[in-house]
């Protein structure tokens, strides 16, 4: 079995004159990211590996999530995640080493929302409805796959275990 967790970066600022890649987290994002980190720790949703988009807002999200985890998994910046379409994200996933059972990716919309929809074949229908309606910042989709190797990842092959946002955890509005 393989588990994929797709975490959209926390709410970011839009400072004038700052390139998209260099946008920092907003105050609300700095509040939401640790909430999601605590949730991952409390629910024992602990990744073996974390792939992070090279954008500043994803790095800052990861740092705030990471400090909440009891174990610090291996992580690295994966440039192909930034502004990636579904096909490229699938390619990155299929290259994941077989030793990685649980993978956390931290990235962006619309790619993550489209990838989660593409991979979901069944699962929690209420979570699926929430995810389809809106995949806000700091939204987390957890998908399970009955496969032994990431190369076998296929559309509609996953079971949506849950979709969690700061708002569903009682921590403010979804954005």
Q: Report the chain's C-alpha Rg in angstroms.
A: 15
pLDDT of residue 170: 83
- The residue-averaged pLDDT of 128-147 equals 95
Indicate if the pLDDT at residue 172 is higher than 90: no
- Residue 108 near residue 21, CB atoms below 8 Å: no
User: Where does residue 101 rank: exposed (0-12), middle (13-18), buried (19+ CB within 10 A)?
Assistant: middle
Average pLDDT of the chain is 95
- The residue-averaged pLDDT of 37-42 equals 97
φ, ψ for residue 116, nearest 5 deg:
-60, -45
Which position has the higher pLDDT, 127 or 92?
92
pLDDT tier at 33 (50, 70, 90 boundaries)?
Answer: very high
pLDDT of residue 113: 96
Per-residue burial over 50-73, b = 16 or more CB atoms within 10 Å of its CB, e = otherwise: bbbbebbbbbbbbebbbebbeeee
pLDDT tens-digit profile of 146-162? 999 999 999 999 999 99
Q: Which fold has domain 2-13+22-164?
A: Rossmann fold (3.40.50)
| Residue 170 structure tokens | 């009682």
pLDDT of residue 173: 61
pLDDT of residue 95: 97
- Residue 27 near residue 37, CB atoms below 8 Å: no
Taking the domains of the chain in order of start, what are their residue ranges? 2-13+22-164
End-to-end CA, the chain: 32
Q: How far is CA 31 from the centre of its chain?
A: 17
pLDDT of residue 146: 97
CA distance 83 to 62: 17
φ, ψ for residue 22, nearest 5 deg:
-100, 10
Indicate if the pLDDT at residue 49 is higher than 90: yes
38: left (phi over 0), alpha (psi -120 to 50) or beta: alpha
| Residue 101 structure tokens | 């059972």
- Residue 40 near residue 103, CB atoms below 8 Å: no
């Amino acid at each position: 079995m393989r588990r994929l967790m797709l975490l959209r970066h926390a709410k970011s600022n839009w400072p004038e004159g700052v390139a998209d890649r260099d946008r920092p987290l907003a105050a609300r994002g700095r509040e939401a990211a640790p909430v999601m980190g605590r949730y991952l720790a409390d629910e024992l949703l602990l990744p073996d590996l974390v792939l992070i988009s090279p954008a500043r807002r994803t790095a800052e999200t990861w740092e705030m999530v990471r400090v909440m985890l009891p174990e610090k998994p291996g992580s690295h910046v994966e440039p192909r995640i930034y502004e990636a379409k579904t096909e490229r994200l699938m390619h990155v996933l299929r290259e994941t080493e077989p030793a990685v059972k649980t993978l956390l990716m931290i990235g962006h919309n619309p790619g993550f929302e489209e990838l989660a929809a593409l991979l979901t074949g069944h699962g929690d229908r209420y979570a699926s409805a929430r995810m389809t309606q809106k995949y806000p910042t700091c939204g987390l989709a957890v998908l399970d796959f009955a496969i032994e190797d990431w190369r076998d990842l296929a559309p509609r092959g996953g079971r949506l275990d849950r979709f969690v946002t700061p708002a569903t955890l009682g921590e403010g509005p979804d954005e």
